[in-house]
């Protein structure tokens, strides 16, 4: 197997996509209640909690109470699927030697990376935290995991674009 610049770029894209999946364990969304009478409450949620939902179980007066903090998120699940699809397509790009198929894979990787970047930056927009009075509380923002994942996807999109449109066989 001949190692070319396109092969190296495809391997790097696959590696970055795998790193992006691992970074789903990093904080994706941070939330702060702001100044209240009892102090400030802050919390972070990782990408998997954001994608697949999150429940908290506490013991109150001897009974276990489970509270659903986050429901499953379509955007979070799609982001996770896009990361995995990019890794698979980049690996296929290394082993498939059909130039038309490689072109198709690079364009799909480019589109998936751009959409995943948008989903990473939009991670907290679908969240709504309710206060005791039932009104929505602001104070949420992007966590480090979402920011780093978005940057990785920008690098992946650039790599796919360079591999497709700049480098020639």
User: Which H, E and C letters describe the chain, residue by residue?
Assistant: CCCCHHHHHHHHHHHHHHHHHHHHHCEEEEEECCCCCCCCCEEEEEHHHHHHCEEEEEEECCEEEEEEEECCCHHHHHHHHHHHHHHHHHHHHHHCCCHHHHHHHHHHHHHHHHHHHHHHHCHHHHCCEECCCCCEECCEEECHHHHHHHHHHHHHHHHHHHHHHHCCC
Domain ranges of the chain: 5-166
| pLDDT tens digits for range 4-27 | 888 899 999 999 999 999 998 888
Whether this model's pTM surpasses 0.85: no
For residue 129, pLDDT over 60 is answered with no
pLDDT at 123 over 60: yes
CATH class of 5-166: mainly alpha
């Amino acid at each position: 197997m001949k190692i070319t610049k396109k092969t190296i770029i495809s391997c790097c894209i696959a590696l970055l996509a795998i790193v992006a999946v691992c970074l789903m364990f990093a904080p994706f969304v941070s939330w702060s209640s702001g100044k209240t009478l009892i102090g400030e409450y802050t919390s972070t949620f990782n990408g998997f909690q954001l994608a697949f939902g999150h429940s908290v179980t506490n013991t109150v007066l001897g009974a276990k109470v489970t509270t659903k903090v986050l429901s499953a998120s379509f955007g979070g699940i799609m982001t996770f699927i896009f990361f995995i699809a990019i890794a698979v397509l980049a690996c296929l790009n290394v082993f498939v030697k059909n130039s038309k198929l490689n072109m198709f894979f690079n364009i799909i990787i480019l589109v998936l990376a751009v959409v995943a970047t948008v989903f990473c930056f939009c991670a907290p927009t679908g969240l709504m935290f309710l206060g005791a009075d039932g009104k929505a509380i602001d104070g949420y923002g992007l966590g480090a995991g979402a920011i780093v994942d978005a940057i990785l996807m920008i690098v992946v999109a650039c790599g796919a674009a360079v591999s497709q449109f700049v480098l020639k066989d």
